[in-house]
Structure 1
Amino acid sequence: MDVTPSCRALGVVLSLALLAGCASAPRDVASRDADESYFARQLPGLSGDWGVAMSPVDNPILEARSQGNPPPALIQQALLAQHERWVGTPYRIGGTSFQGVDCSALVQNVFEETFRLSLPRTTGEQVHQGQPVSRGELVPGDLVFFRPPGRYDHVGIYLGEGRFLHASSSRGVMISRLDNRYWQRHYWQARRTLEPTHLAQRAQVSGQG
């Protein structure tokens, strides 16, 4: 029996749903995030300013170690270095590379490269990793989850200072604020895959390798 165009279209939609790792947020997120810069910056510490632009050739892990920074600050530096690598990468549902990436694939790649920690591919699986953590107790490296309108949930990595790294469907890989009206409205929960000390130790090993 011939496959009708509507059946073929349904098959394509189902295939995309299986590949998708996160939410496809509405396009008007771009206007809500209009006051957000890409924050391609280096944080000297948890309570400091965003500082000056960081050169991609800098090694923030070794620098943080030499300054005796605590684990959260070291994790923060490592994640900002990943932001330098990924910033500007467009959002692509099902994408896993610099040619295009979705939110859960970005999280998976960053954790593998930064912490040598393998996370599942999809947001639905990542939300069951580690332990739940309240919004008021977030530390750098925690996963933050959102439930925006639409079929898919969304995930990012908390950086500290109320900001998180993620792959926005409207602007690609970027840093946004948790208190942004859109993200604040659709905030869902957070998970801690490993305690900060353990994540920092893994980041040191990756930074040396």
Structure 2
Amino acid sequence: MTVTAGGLVLHAPTAPAAQAATTSDTAGVSSVRAVTAAGTAKSAKAARKRAAKIARQKVKAGKALTVAKNQIGDPYRYGATGPGSFDCSGLVQFAWNKAGVKLPRVASSQFARIRNKVSWKNLKPGDLMFFNGLGHVGMYVGKGKMIHSPRTGERVRIDKLGGWRKSSFVGAVRPGL
């Protein structure tokens, strides 16, 4: 349809053409919705998979903590991996191994090879905490405490994470993810 208004020629689409444009726009929106729905379903599946993985890690962490707590009172012995005596990295290796997660033998390798790094404020029970330039490792118990095998002459115990520990903190990792 052509309309003349004040010397200007205006072209307006006829009703069938307007309907065709609306129909194609609706089809485009429908295909966008279908793609979005497929993407949403895919991301929901990925989220469920991730949640299941986190839940499995939490169970393993609980088991590792139970094993470590059962070692309270065992003596520190350099290079010992238990049972009966442990050094710091031997204790966490032993506990996580019993939970079904293999860890490297020494603290520096444990920190380097476990990909899931954790900050001080995001610690969860079972996380490995490293101190003194990776020279010492303990396992976070929760509520500001860790279990560890401190040094020669000492025994496996749970200690509060005071100011000195925080100042010598290097980093933490979350095994089993």
Aligned to 1:168: 150
1:181 is aligned to 2:163? yes
1:119 to 92, 95, 103: 103
Aligned to 1:96: 81
Take 2:156 and 2:131, find their aligned partners in 1: how far apart are those partners? 16
Offset from partner CA, 1:106-162 (integer Å, 9 cap, x none): 111000002x010000111001112211111111121100017xxx71011112111
Kindly indicate whether the alpha-carbon contact (under 8 Å) linking 1:144 and 1:189 is maintained by their aligned counterparts in 2.
yes
| Match runs of 1:1-150 below 5 Å | 77-114=62-99, 116-128=100-112, 129-147=114-132
Kindly indicate whether the alpha-carbon contact (under 8 Å) linking 2:68 and 2:91 is maintained by their aligned counterparts in 1.
no
Name structure 2 gaps, 5 residues minimum: 1-54
1:153 is aligned to 2:135? yes
Name structure 1 gaps, 5 residues minimum: 1-69, 196-209
Offset from partner CA, 1:74-118 (integer Å, 9 cap, x none): 56653442244201111111111234210101111000002x010
Aligned residues: 121
SS at match of 2:96: helix
Kindly indicate whether the alpha-carbon contact (under 8 Å) linking 2:64 and 2:98 is maintained by their aligned counterparts in 1.
no
Kindly indicate whether the alpha-carbon contact (under 8 Å) linking 1:130 and 1:194 is maintained by their aligned counterparts in 2.
no
Take 1:73 and 1:133, find their aligned partners in 2: how far apart are those partners? 15
- Answer with 1 or 2: which has the greater Rg: 2
Kindly indicate whether the alpha-carbon contact (under 8 Å) linking 2:75 and 2:86 is maintained by their aligned counterparts in 1.
yes
Indicate how the Cα distance of structure 1 residues 104 and 96 shifts in structure 2: closer, same or farther if over 3 A, else same. Answer: same
> Aligned letter for 2:132?
R
SS at match of 1:127: helix
What RMSD in Å do the two structures reach over aligned CA positions?
2.4
Kindly indicate whether the alpha-carbon contact (under 8 Å) linking 1:76 and 1:160 is maintained by their aligned counterparts in 2.
no
SS at match of 1:159: strand
**Identity over aligned pairs, percent:** 31
Indicate how the Cα distance of structure 1 residues 153 and 162 shifts in structure 2: closer, same or farther if over 3 A, else same. Answer: same
Kindly indicate whether the alpha-carbon contact (under 8 Å) linking 1:76 and 1:159 is maintained by their aligned counterparts in 2.
no
SS at match of 2:171: strand
Take 1:117 and 1:136, find their aligned partners in 2: how far apart are those partners? 24
